[in-house]
Homo-oligomer: A and B are copies of this chain.
């Protein structure tokens, strides 16, 4: 602090209501992400989220109505991130190429935002039993992702890249199931299992279903 300055305390910049709302939204969702990743959904109280975001304990309820509302808002923002990521990298691709891009996008999420991934998986897992109220929303999200993978597999099958005896619905479920299990493993073991190895194992599942086990031409990193 330099004495004699005109103002010791910087005047708070005047923010519009929209700004305030957007900022507090962002901060609360960030705080929730961090806390969910570290302590799980049911291990985190709404009060904690508000305080960790730098506000009062009451704001999250006021903003989102309920704990469920907060989690749904968080899921929405994560889904938006993923859609953008896929739209960016898989646009124009079809069949096996598109499928591999989607797999890479999932792995890349875990690589780029481990915290968000841990939070997302906490939500998945607790929706199974601890918080059944989450199931519809989580189920819809997973179904959408699986459906989009099925489209890619069907294209591949139609184009003769994939064996015709493959059940695309089931194979999509297997690919995503394995992918999620491996990412959980990765999160649990503090990143001991390499993400590239995970990607290779899952792309291996795709290659198993292909007509000619084509040479790997994966995107590096």
A contacts, CB < 8 Å to B: 36-43, 118, 121-122, 125-126, 128-132, 139, 170, 173-174, 176-182, 184-189, 192-194, 197-198, 201, 204-205, 208
Determine the chain B residues whose CB is within 8 A of the CB of A193 once the complex forms. Answer: 170, 173-174, 177
Q: Is the CB of B177 within 8 A of A184?
A: yes
The residue on B at minimum CB distance from A130 is B40
By secondary structure, the A interface counts as: helix
Bound-complex Cα distance A219 to B210 (A): 25
Q: Is the CB of B43 within 8 A of A130?
A: yes
Bound-complex Cα distance A129 to B130 (A): 12
Q: Is the CB of A128 within 8 A of B43?
A: no
Q: Is the CB of B122 within 8 A of A128?
A: yes
Known: A129-B36, A173-B189. A201 touches B178 (CB 8 A): yes
